[in-house]
Chains A and B, each alone.
Chain A
Amino acid sequence: MKLSGYLRGYKKETVLSPLFKFFEAVLELFIPVIVARVIDRYIPAGDTRGIVLMICLMAALGAVGFGFSVLGQYFAARSSAGFGTKLREAIFDKVESMSYSDLDRTPAPTLINRLNSDASGAQSGLNIVLRLVLRSPFIVVGSAVMAFTIDLSSALIFTATVVVLTAASLAVVLSGVPVFRRSQGALDRVTELTRDNMTGVRVIRAFIREDEEIKSYDEATEKLSRLQKLAGRISGALNPATYVIINTALILILRSGSVRIGSGSMTQGQVIALYNYMTQMLTELLKLAGLIVMLARSYACAGRVGAFLNSAPASETEKRRSGGEKAAESVGGAAPRVEFRSVASAYGAGAEPALRDLSFKAYPGETIGIIGGTGSGKTTLVNLIPRFYDVSSGAVLVDGGDVRDFDPAVLRKKCAVVPQKAVLFKGTVRENLMWGNPDADDAALIEALHTACFDDLASTRDGLDTAVAQYGSNFSGGQRQRLTVARALVRRPEILVLDDSSSALDYATDAEMRRRLASLDFSPTVFIVAQRTGSVRDADLIIVLDDGDVAGMGKHADLLENCPIYREIHRVQFGDGEVTA
Chain B
Amino acid sequence: MKTNKITRRAILGRIVRFAAPYKFSLIFSFLLGLLSVSLSLFIPVLIGRAVDMMTGPGAVDYDGIVPILYAIAACAIGSALFQWLMTAANNRITYNVTRDMRRTAFRTLQSVPVSFYDGVAHGGLVSRVISDVETVSDGVLLGTSHLFCGVVTVAATLVFMIRLQPVVAAAVAILTPLSLFVSRFVASRTYGYFKEQAEVREEESAFSEEIISSQKVVKAFGKEEDVKRIFREINARYEKKTVRAVFFSSLVNPSTRLVNSVVYAAVALIGALFAVSGGITVGALSSFLSYASQYTKPFNEISGVVSELQGALACAGRVFEVIDAERESPRSEGERIGSVRGDVELCHIDFSYRKDRPLLRDVTLSVRAGSHVAVVGPTGCGKTTLINLLMRYYDPASGRITLDGVDVSTVAREDVRRNFGMVLQDTWIRSATVRENIALGKPDATDDEIERAARAVRAHSFITKLPDGYDTVLSENGGSLSAGQRQLISVARVMLTAPPMLILDEATSSIDTRTEIEISKSFERLMEGKTAFIVAHRLSTVRDADLIVVMRDGEIAERGTHEELLSENGFYKKLYDSQWRGAEIGEG
Given contacts A39-B285, A62-B262, A237-B84, 20 further A-B contacts (CB under 8 A): A38-B268, A43-B282, A46-B276, A51-B273, A51-B276, A73-B251, A77-B242, A77-B243, A81-B243, A98-B215, A202-B428, A207-B417, A218-B103, A409-B222, A417-B220, A470-B206, A547-B512, A572-B516, A574-B580, A574-B584
B43 within 8 A of A: yes
CA distance A481 to B122 in the complex (A): 28
Residues on B with beta carbons closer than 8 Å to the beta carbon of A375: 482, 512
Contact at A210–B110, with CB atoms within 8 Å?
A: yes
A56, A96, A535 — which one has the most chain B CB atoms within 10 A of its CB?
Answer: A96
B window 293-308: CB within 8 A of A: 293-294
Given A103-B216, A199-B122, A572-B516, A435-B418 contact (CB < 8 Å): no
Partner of A62, one of B98, B261, B578, B587: B261
Given the complex of chains A and B, what is the CA–CA distance between A107 and B539 in angstroms? 36
Contact A373 B510, beta carbon cutoff 8 Å: yes
Given A236-B87, A264-B57, A507-B577: A210 in contact with B111 (beta carbons within 8 A):
yes
Q: How far is the CA of A508 from the CA of B47 in the complex (A)?
A: 94
Whole-angstrom distance between the alpha carbons of A388 and B60 in the complex? 86
Chain A 185-216 interface residues, beta-carbon cutoff 8 Å to B: 187, 190-210, 212-214
Which stretch in B88-96, B347-355, B458-466 binds the other chain?
B88-96
Q: Which of B58, B231, B586 contacts A89 (CB 8 A)?
A: B231
Is residue B246 within 8 Å, beta carbon to beta carbon, of the partner chain?
A: yes
- Residue A471 is within 8 A (CB to CB) of chain B in the complex: yes
Residues of chain A within 8 A (CB-CB) of B258 are 62-63, 65-66
| Interface-facing stretch out of B68-76, B153-161, B362-370, B523-531 | B68-76
Closest to B223 in A: A435
- What is the distance, in angstroms, from B316's C-beta to the closest C-beta of chain A? 18
- Which among B165-173, B232-240, B336-344 touches the partner chain? B232-240
Total count of chain B residues near the partner, CB < 8 A:
155
Contacting pair B212 A95 (CB below 8 A): yes
A142-150, A325-333, A342-350, A418-426: which one contacts chain B? A418-426
Does residue A14 face the partner (Cβ distance < 8 Å to B)?
A: no
State A212–B585 Cα separation when bound (angstroms). 54
Indicate if A298 sits at the interface (CB-CB under 8 A): no
User: In the complex, how many angstroms separate the beta carbon of B495 from the nearest chain A beta carbon?
Assistant: 13
Shortest Cβ gap from B22 to chain A (Å): 12
Q: Pick out which of these stretches binds chain B: A157-165, A300-308, A396-404, A562-570.
A: A562-570
Does chain B have a CB within 8 A of A97?
yes
Q: List 28 A-B contacts (CB under 8 A).
A: A43-B272, A55-B272, A61-B261, A84-B239, A85-B239, A88-B204, A96-B215, A97-B224, A103-B216, A192-B476, A199-B428, A203-B424, A203-B428, A203-B490, A205-B114, A212-B443, A221-B103, A244-B77, A254-B50, A268-B55, A372-B513, A373-B512, A374-B484, A375-B512, A425-B210, A435-B223, A571-B540, A574-B583
- Given A31-B261, A43-B272, A271-B54, verify A507-B60 contact (CB < 8 Å): no
Given the known interface contacts A31-B261, A195-B126, A251-B72, the answer about A507 and B209 at a Cβ–Cβ threshold of 8 Å is no
Cβ contact within 8 Å between B418 and A208: yes
Q: Mark A256-297, 1 if CB is under 8 A from B, else 0.
A: 011101111001110110011001000100000000000000
In the complex, the answer to whether A261 meets B87 with C-beta atoms within 8 Å is: no
- Among A441-449, A459-467, A526-534, the one that faces the other chain is A526-534
Mask, A69-81, CB within 8 Å of B = 1, is 1100110111011
Which residues of B have CB within 8 Å of A63? 258
Please determine whether A248 and B513 come into contact, CB atoms closer than 8 angstroms. no
| Inter-chain contact A208/B417, CB cutoff 8 Å | yes
B433 at the interface (CB under 8 A from A): no
CB distance from B204 to the nearest CB of A (A): 8
Known: A59-B261, A426-B210, A533-B583. A575 touches B60 (CB 8 A): no
Report yes or no: B73 in contact with A248, Cβ–Cβ below 8 A. yes
- Interface check A222, CB cutoff 8 A: yes
A537 at interface by CB-CB < 8 Å? yes
Q: Say which residue of A207, A214, A264, A572 sits within 8 Å of B493 (CB atoms).
A: A207
Q: Which of A132, A258, A419, A565 has the most CB of B within 10 A?
A: A258
Min CB–CB distance A367 → chain B (angstroms): 13
Q: How far is the CA of A261 from the CA of B65 in the complex (A)?
A: 13
Residues 494-522 of B at the A interface (beta carbon under 8 Å)? 497, 509-517, 520
Of chain B, the residue at the smallest CB distance from A75 is: B247
The answer for the CA separation of A76 and B461 in the assembled complex, in Å, is 61
Contacts between the two chains (Cβ within 8 Å), count? 450
B99 and A222: CB pair below 8 A? yes
Contact indicator A55/B88 (Cβ below 8 Å): no
With beta carbons under 8 angstroms apart, the residue of B83, B91, B585 that contacts A239 is B83
| Cβ A240 vs Cβ B81 within 8 A | yes
CB-contacts of B257-272 with A (<8 A): 257-258, 260-262, 264-266, 268-269, 272
Q: Is A108 located at the chain interface by the 8 A CB criterion?
A: yes
B388 to A, closest residue via Cβ: A202
Bound Cα distance A404, B427 (Å):
41
Return B444 CB to nearest CB of chain A, in Å.
11
> Nearest-CB distance from B522 to chain A (Å)?
14
Would you call B430 an interface residue if the criterion is a C-beta within 8 Å of the partner chain's C-beta atoms? Answer: yes
Report whether B72 and A55 are in contact in the complex, using a CB–CB cutoff of 8 Å: no
B391 at the interface (CB under 8 A from A): yes
Chain B residue nearest to A261 in the complex (CB): B54
A111 at the interface (CB under 8 A from B): yes
A236 in contact with B510 (CB, 8 Å)? no
* A52 lies within 8 A of chain B by Cβ: yes
- Asked whether A262 and B117 contact (CB < 8 A) given A203-B422, A251-B73, A413-B222, the answer is no
- Collect the chain B residues with CB atoms within 8 Å of residue A436's CB: 221
Given contacts A100-B216, A386-B220, A507-B582, contact A85 B517 (CB under 8 A): no
Nearest-Cβ distance from residue B459 to partner chain A, whole angstroms: 17
Residue pair A229, B106 in contact (C-beta under 8 Å): no
Instruction: Please name all residues of chain A whose beta carbon is closer than 8 Å to the beta carbon of B289 when the two chains form the complex.
Output: 35, 276
With a cutoff of 8 Å between Cβ atoms, the chain A residues found around residue B184 in the complex are none
Quick check: B95 and A229 within 8 Å, CB to CB?
yes
Residue from A51, A131, A571, A575 having most chain B Cβ neighbours under 10 A? A575
Interface assignment of B254: CB less than 8 Å from any CB of chain A? yes
Docked-complex contact A376 and B476, CB < 8 angstroms? no
Report B-chain residues with C-beta under 8 Å of the C-beta of A193. Answer: 431
Q: Which of A210, A240, A569 contacts B80 (CB 8 A)?
A: A240
Q: Which 6 A-B pairs give the minimum distances between C-beta atoms?
A: A373-B512, A62-B261, A534-B582, A247-B76, A240-B80, A264-B57
Q: How far is the CA of A224 from the CA of B540 in the complex (A)?
A: 51
Known A-B contacts A103-B215, A374-B510, A515-B587; the reply to A197 vs B428 at CB < 8 A is no
